[in-house]
Structure 1
Amino acid sequence: MMRFPPTAISLLVSTYNWPRALELVLGSVRRQRTLPHEVVIADDGSGEETRAVIERETRSFPVPIQHVWHEDTGFRLAAIRNKAIAAARGEYIVQIDGDILLHPHFFEGHAQFAQRGAWAQGSRALLGRDCTARLMAGDECPLGVFTNDLNGRPNAFYAPWITPFVRGPRDGMKRIRGAHMAFWRDDLVRVNGYDEEIEGWGREDSELATRLINAGVRRRNIKFSAVAYHLWHQPANFDNVERNHERLVRTREQQLTRAARGLDHYLPSSTTSAL
């Protein structure tokens, strides 16, 4: 299949009340050799400290920043991501969590890898507690394959010449990580984005991936050319995982392609009427 690189990439960063981590993420965006077209921050109800960080960064940031916020009524990642997708102006959306630091060639890797008819699952190396604490304190912790405090070390290996030969899983329920994914925006519109019936931590990303695959959008796995590092944090609250997993299984068994309650709530009527 011929590759048509995107002309404009929107970076979607989801965040919730961890402003120092968001500062580090945006710092890694500043250091990119190739910048995205814009940054869209999907804020699931953070307080004033996060807003202040975004306002300060916006004044000198090298590309536009959009701050998309809604009221904090619980974990509603699917909804705030949909709102951010609707606001995004790029034709290609690279999605990360607000605790993911980027290798300087991250966007070069994604621009070269993007392929019509496919979405991309990225990987990330896991920074340990010590390295994360040093970064949060403003100290040095050089990131790379030789970082001492690191798990998933192969994911920190920058070797873009290997990327075309990596296959990896094609199943929408295997090793899906919403912390690092990428999509053509019109594919997200076609499947109606995230399922907003999924609330609480877990499975919103796998459910979306499954609907994309059901709709004929292939999964491709990008490794070694879009390296990312995940800051250490305490485990999430898993209270809703069982309920959310049931929705994922239903999507797979019924071969669903569209979310009943999703992205179309935030799109212009001219866009949704064409679906």
Structure 2
Amino acid sequence: MKTSLLISTYNWPKALELVLLSVENQILKPDELLLADDGSTEETTDLINAFKKKSSIPVIHVWHEDNGFQRSIILNKAIAQSKGDYIIQTDGDCILHPYFVKDHMLLAKKNSYLFGSRVTIKEEILAKLFQNKIIKFNFFSTGIKKRTRTIRIPFFSIFYKTKIELSKKMRGCNISYWKKDFIAANGYNEDMTGWGREDSELIIRMMNMGCVGKRIRYCGIVYHIWHPTSSKSNLNKNNQIQEDTIINKSLRCENGINKYL
């Protein structure tokens, strides 16, 4: 299978630089890298262009104008340009463990999606993190929280069974799924603007179609760089859209990826 590593980003090139370094450091590289850019300035574009010139991975930079938090839209636009069969998704503030891509690829199964954990990098070490361009962590590293999640023992992941209900531990910064399942659900619901629920609402529709979820504990690790919480001004609206999806057992959204295909 061909894999597409999908990273969403918005105006934090210092963080994205570390993420891209961790992409290049992957034991098993993806077939392509998709950068879903929700309207960043030229500083981010310059960083991506510089990475393109030296990376062995084909890079697709998908950008649109900044019109507020429109993550659902830019993710749909990026996936519409993907060539991979399998999408491995994270965010531009998550440094990847060297085995991140390989772990997702090895555990991928038909009619299922994967979701992993994240280690938290604390605010107080950010200056050191960016100055020294740190991309490697372990259980004993300073300045991290939830350090047990740094432990990689893939054998232990077999004890986590597939689930037919949505897990509260599912996060859009560490998920993977088959592109055909994403397309069948019509991708992200673009009626959901502003922060919150866009990932879980997508996954609920995929589960309504028969996909099951599996938590990939002890592998598929990311390190989330601390940042202030995004505005939750649209959360009530997004909560209602998700609740309607649950009640109606929706398989597809109306306002999705189909307009870009």
TM-score bracket relative to the smaller structure:
over 0.9
Q: Map of 1:211-226 to 2, 5 A cutoff?
A: 211-226=205-220
TM-score if structure 1 supplies the norm length? 0.91
Query: What residue number does 1:112 align with?
Result: 106
For residue 230 of structure 1, the aligned residue among 202, 224, 239 is: 224
For residue 178 of structure 2, the aligned residue among 149, 173, 184 is: 184
Tell me by how many angstroms 1:174 deviates: 2.2
Query: What residue number does 1:34 align with?
Result: 28
What is the DSSP-based 3-state SS (H/G/I as helix, E as strand, rest coil) of the residue aligned with 1:162? helix
Task: Give the aligned residue type for 2:25.
Answer: R
Query: What residue number does 1:138 align with?
Result: 132
- How many residues align structurally? 261
TM-score if structure 2 supplies the norm length? 0.96
Query: What residue number does 1:86 align with?
Result: 80
Query: What residue number does 2:144 align with?
Result: 150
Query: What residue number does 2:118 align with?
Result: 124
Q: Does 1:255 align with 2:245?
A: no
Task: Give the aligned residue type for 2:112.
Answer: A
In structure 1, C-alpha distance between the alignment counterparts of 2:162 and 2:210, rounded to whole Å: 18
Q: 1:187 to 1:140 in 2, by over 3 A?
A: closer
Tell me by how many angstroms 1:173 deviates: 5.9
Query: What residue number does 1:4 align with?
Result: none
Tell me by how many angstroms 1:146 deviates: 1.6
What are the ranges of 5 or more consecutive residues in structure 2 without an aligned counterpart?
Answer: none
In structure 1, C-alpha distance between the alignment counterparts of 2:66 and 2:157, rounded to whole Å: 39
In structure 2, C-alpha distance between the alignment counterparts of 1:130 and 1:142, rounded to whole Å: 17
Query: What residue number does 1:161 align with?
Result: 155
In structure 1, C-alpha distance between the alignment counterparts of 2:196 and 2:146, rounded to whole Å: 21
Deviates more, 1:172-181 or 1:119-128: 172-181
Q: 1:84 to 1:139 in 2, by over 3 A?
A: closer
Residues 170 and 200, structure 2, Cα contact 8 Å, conserved in 1: yes
Residues 173 and 206, structure 1, Cα contact 8 Å, conserved in 2: no
Tell me by how many angstroms 1:188 deviates: 0.3
For residue 51 of structure 1, the aligned residue among 19, 33, 45 is: 45
What are the ranges of 5 or more consecutive residues in structure 1 without an aligned counterpart?
Answer: 1-6, 268-275
Q: Does 1:241 align with 2:235?
A: yes
In structure 2, C-alpha distance between the alignment counterparts of 1:99 and 1:141, rounded to whole Å: 12
Tell me by how many angstroms 1:142 deviates: 4.5
Q: CA RMSD in A?
A: 1.4
Runs of 4+ in 1 over 3 A off after TM superposition: 139-142, 167-170
Task: Give the aligned residue type for 1:41.
Answer: L
Tell me by how many angstroms 1:132 deviates: 2.8
What is the DSSP-based 3-state SS (H/G/I as helix, E as strand, rest coil) of the residue aligned with 1:189? helix
Tell me by how many angstroms 1:46 deviates: 0.5
Tell me by how many angstroms 1:172 deviates: 2.2
Q: 1:262 to 1:173 in 2, by over 3 A?
A: farther
Q: Does 1:62 align with 2:56?
A: yes
Task: Give the aligned residue type for 2:178.
Answer: W
Q: 1:79 to 1:134 in 2, by over 3 A?
A: same
Task: Give the aligned residue type for 2:56.
Answer: P
Cα deviation code 1:110-150 (max 9, x no counterpart): 11100001011121111111333312122557411222211
In structure 1, C-alpha distance between the alignment counterparts of 2:221 and 2:89, rounded to whole Å: 13
